[in-house]
């Protein structure tokens, strides 16, 4: 008998044994535990409320991204970030047209008629525009351009350059007659000039083009803008911060202070000095906006008096008052008040008139008026002939003075201490200070 025969005979018994139902030894324990446990409610099953297909689709694993593709994407993102950082580091940051800024270079005209740039930190100078007959250099409010007049046959050419004198453009299509005022618009896109014939013009600062003549809309309204040939800045004409309005002095036997839209439309009187017992005729008004555009300063004499004082009022003509009041028994004649960059102070030059007579006048140093208190204090030296110009530094810490004597020696006066230093530069005409962005 073979082994196969033995297995064949025993196969039925094995199958019967395997087929028989058997109960595990631990079956009774399982029944005892389940009987003691409460059945779970049907509402707790997610399948009762949501299709399981929605859950499984959300829980499905994200497809695997090849590591080479992920690396390439990361490199591209890194390159883009580096490009943005490099571009940002090269972008030129420009100062706001009004308010405090950092001090750049000082521009002036030397005795030969060259436009000169001086570094107040080192006293070094460079020539921005050579030649005879250059005058009235003015930095744009953003510090990125220079404008000045150049003498030509038949008048003056209006010239704009870069801050170092490069890229010269003559923006006046025809020679200008005598100019009594020159300044930039707050956006540094236009140059405004007032001609002695009363025409107020706006020139495109980037190219030669026919100017916008505001006289057509203002009529023969303008007698003066700002203070004439004296450190004019954008705030002497254009209202801060956007320059949407302009400030001029109206014509006539009773000059008025007038505000108009930038294009010359909608002129309206904000102050009739005669009604306030004042007279603008003596000094032409010397009107200027405060750096925030909320106030106007000007010079005026009381009716029947020839000596001017500095007045301040709100932009609509309300709140008229003297910037400071002289002690009883004293008389002063003031001129060309200049707003500090933060708008809290005025700098003014003044003569004290003993006995109300010009025969007994005493010139004071530049006076700094604290507008909050109405107090005044002198800073710097006293110059018998006054100043050809004076102006605040962009950061408000110094007064740049050009004495009116024969020395032409420029002075930098520290407003806090009153002490002065003299760069080795000479000029007899107004100087201007470049506004730059703080580092």
In angstroms, the Cα distances linking 399 to 101, 126, 381, 402, 418 are 14, 22, 12, 10, 10
pLDDT at 353: 83
d(CA 392, CA 384): 21
Q: How confident is the model at residue 43 (pLDDT cuts 50, 70, 90)?
A: very low
Beta bridge pairs of residue 271: 257
Q: What is the pLDDT of residues 137-174, one digit of tens each?
A: 999 999 999 999 998 888 999 999 999 999 999 999 99
Confidence of residue 329 (pLDDT cuts 50, 70, 90): confident
- Indicate if the pLDDT at residue 322 is higher than 90: yes
Mean pLDDT, rounded, of the chain: 82
DSSP code, position 218: H
SS3 content of the chain, % helix, strand, coil (to 5): 20, 35, 45
Q: How far apart are CA 365 and CA 172, in angstroms?
A: 39
Dihedrals phi, psi of 52, to nearest 5 degrees? -65, -20
- First CA to last CA distance, the chain: 110
Contacts of 29 (CB under 8 A, 6+ apart): none
Structure pTM?
0.78
Beta strands in 262-394 (DSSP E): 268-271, 278-279, 288-289, 295-302, 308-314, 321-322, 332-339, 345-353, 361-363, 366-370, 375-379, 387-392
| 307 phi-psi bin (left φ>0, alpha ψ -120 to 50, beta other) | beta
- Mean pLDDT value across residues 276-305: 88
Peptide bond into 241 cis (omega under 30): yes
């Amino acid at each position: 008998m073979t082994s196969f025969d033995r297995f064949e005979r025993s196969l039925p018994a094995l199958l019967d044994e395997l087929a028989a139902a058997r109960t595990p030894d631990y079956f009774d324990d399982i029944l005892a535990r389940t009987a003691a446990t409460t059945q779970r409610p049907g509402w707790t099953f997610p399948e009762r409320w949501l299709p399981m297909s929605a859950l499984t689709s959300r829980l499905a694993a994200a497809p695997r991204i090849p590591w080479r593709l992920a690396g390439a994407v990361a490199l591209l993102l890194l390159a883009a970030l580096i490009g943005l950082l490099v571009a940002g580091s090269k972008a030129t940051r420009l100062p706001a047209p009004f308010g405090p800024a950092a001090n750049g270079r000082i521009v002036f005209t030397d005795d030969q008629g060259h436009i000169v740039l001086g570094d107040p930190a080192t006293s070094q100078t460079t020539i921005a525009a050579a030649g005879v007959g250059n005058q009235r250099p003015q930095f744009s409010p953003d510090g990125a351009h220079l404008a000045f007049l150049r003498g030509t046959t038949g008048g003056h050419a209006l010239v704009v350059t870069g801050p170092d004198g490069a890229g010269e453009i003559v923006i006046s299509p025809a020679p200008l007659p005598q100019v009594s005022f020159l300044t930039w618009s707050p956006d540094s896109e236009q140059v405004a000039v007032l001609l002695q014939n009363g025409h107020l013009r706006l020139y495109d600062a980037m190219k030669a083009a026919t100017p916008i003549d505001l006289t057509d809309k203002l009529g023969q309204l303008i007698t003066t803008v700002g203070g004439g040939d004296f450190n004019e800045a954008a705030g002497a004409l254009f209202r801060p911060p956007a320059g949407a309005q302009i400030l001029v002095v109206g014509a006539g036997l009773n000059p008025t202070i007038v505000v108009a839209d930038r294009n010359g439309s909608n002129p309206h009187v904000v102050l009739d000095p005669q009604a306030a017992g004042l007279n603008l005729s003596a000094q032409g008004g010397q009107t200027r906006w405060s750096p925030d555009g909320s106030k106007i300063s000007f010079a005026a004499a009381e009716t029947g008096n020839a000596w001017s004082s500095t007045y301040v009022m709100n932009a609509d003509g309300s709140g008229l008052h003297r910037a400071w009041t002289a002690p009883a028994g004293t008389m002063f004649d003031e001129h060309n008040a200049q707003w500090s960059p933060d708008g809290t102070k005025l700098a003014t030059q003044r003569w004290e008139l003993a006995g109300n007579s010009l025969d007994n006048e005493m010139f004071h140093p530049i006076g700094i008026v604290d507008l909050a208190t109405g107090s005044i204090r002198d800073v710097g030296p006293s110059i018998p002939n006054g100043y050809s110009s004076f102006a605040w530094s962009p950061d408000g810490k110094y007064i740049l003075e050009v004495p009116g004597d024969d020395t032409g020696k420029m002075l930098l006066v520290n407003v806090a201490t009153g002490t002065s230093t003299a760069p080795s530069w000479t000029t007899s005409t107004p100087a201007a200070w470049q506004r730059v962005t703080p580092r």
